[in-house]
């Protein structure tokens, strides 16, 4: 039930980041759309296994852990690249 607070929190952070980018003249809509699309993709990778798979099955961790690792690696690559 804490997810609405997290959405508002990250929304405020995003608004401050957008304002700073506009002030520096670095604002681009294409970058914004790409970032939103990537965030949706990462959210799917992180949340899909618990919602789509039975957590009591033995193969759950074999599917969930690689998905979470892939999301973390994608996040690191995008932040460092």
Number of folded domains in the chain? Answer: 1
Overall average pLDDT of the 25-32 stretch: 85
Higher pLDDT, 1 or 41: 41
Looking at residue 42, its pLDDT comes to 85
Instruction: For the chain, give the percent of residues with pLDDT over 90.
Output: 2
Range of the domain at 72: 3-80
C-alpha span between 25 and 30 (Å, rounded): 14
10 Å CB burial of residue 46 (0-12, 13-18, 19+) is: middle
- For residue 11, count other CB atoms closer than 10 A to its CB: 10
Percent of the chain with pLDDT over 70: 96
């Amino acid at each position: 039930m804490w997810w609405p607070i997290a959405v508002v929190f990250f929304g405020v952070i995003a608004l401050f980041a957008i304002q700073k980018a506009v002030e520096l003249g670095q604002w681009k809509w294409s970058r914004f759309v790409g970032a939103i699309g990537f965030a949706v993709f990462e959210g799917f990778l992180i949340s899909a296994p618990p919602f789509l798979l039975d957590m009591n099955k033995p193969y759950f961790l074999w599917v969930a852990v690689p998905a979470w690792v892939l999301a973390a690696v994608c996040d690191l690559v995008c932040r460092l690249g």
